[in-house]
Structure 1
Amino acid sequence: MKRGGGKIRLFIGLAIVAFAVIKYCGSAETNEHTGEKQYIDLTVNEEIALGLQAAPSMIQQHGGLYQNQEYQNIVDAVGQKLVQSSIGKSTDYRYEFHLLADERTINAFALPGGQCFITYALYSQLENVDQLAGVLGHEIGHVVAKHSAARMSQQGLAQGVITGVSVGTEGGGQAAEAIAQMITMKYGRDDELQSDQLGVQMMLDAGFDPYEMIGVMEILKAAGGPNRTPEFQSTHPDPENRIERIKEAIEYYKRS
């Protein structure tokens, strides 16, 4: 009886994994802006709605908006110049740029649909508007490349694998979760590198100096300190590796 129960469990587990894989593969599409094949089951309007819904919470988590209209105007102007001069203009996303009051966390990020954020902790360390363009161009790159939507689909696949293996095998859930985590980490590092490249392209299109993005990487490197997590355990590539890829992207787009 126990053996029969094990077979039933295995069958159900395999069915769950198969359903997750079929659903994921069925969402394949080609990103018209990057030419990349992706697996996404959200429409553009759904991405925009998700970003707008999450934005107030993200603002609250970082202490609200930074109360300096002059600085906010600079962020808006640089962000919109990047969008209007690049592939960002050809998208249907609703781009908005927010300067967050957080003075301790050096960070910038984007939500689906065009909501882009930079903390004052990072903004205050930037030396010029070209570096600001490097930060915002990178975040716009995440939006254009649909990284958030793709990650949501990947996490759905990973969760299906975890559930299926957990149901189908005794004690298999922990191993499945570790595998799924490594899958999503790899995608995260690739996303960051692609956004750097898109950011370089947008900076050049908008007339900003793309070499200033290297200065941004130096700021991030210094913020990480000497005891940074090894690259293979992080969703973000090491700043040194990013600098090399940025230099390669600059030379490539200047020749194009």
Structure 2
Amino acid sequence: MNVFQICNDTSDAIEFFPPQSLYLKPIARLNISVQLPQMKLPGKTISNWEVMEKLKNMTKPEEFIVLKVSKSTLEFIRFEAEIENKSKLPSVIARLDTRTIKLSGFSELLKIRAAEAKIPYPTRHAWNSYFRDARNMNEMKPGERPDTIHINNLPCRWFATKQDKTKGNDIPSEYLFRKVFEVFGEVRCVDIPLADPYRNKMKTHLSGMKTFSFEKDLSFEGYVQFKEYICFVK
């Protein structure tokens, strides 16, 4: 599965690291639930495709860049969706929430609920609680406090040097990786398992590398450890 998405709307992009032409773009994600009618006739089914087409038509002229079923029961279907521009999220939700749709073969109207989705990322309270309550950890020591971030699915080409790109080598540079994240503060160390020629010879639980994937030559994962907690929080 391709982990990259084409970005057509850059109006809400935020400058991140100009030397590498890197920008940050807010995630515009929403959850959509469609209440299903009671199935009175055996063998009668709901078409997820038809429901999705109805939802797409209701949000025009905005388009979903992601629309997929996240949960399906006898009572409802839940979709996870994304649009390109977060500023347009309220209007998209307004077009869907508390509205109804009608499916072919069913007399009942299906009610829709829509709301902005929470991004699945640990909160400041969660990581502070974890390290505070963890045994055998000293918050005064690096690595035993919230100071390290793990990022995956980064495009290799974005972090490759110009010299390597010229040679057709898109291995990410740890130097560039460090420079990019120094915009948040002083970095203690970085690690890119893919850039280590010896890492793939190590056992998986020691190497920090994931098992094979078709995107392994296109994307990478990296670790950044900051010197100060305040840099990590940023």
Range class of TM-score, shorter chain: under 0.3
- Report which structure shows greater RCO (CA 8 Å, sep ≥6): 1
Q: Larger strand proportion, structure 1 or 2?
A: 2
Q: Select the structure that is richer in helix.
A: 1
Greater C-alpha Rg: 2
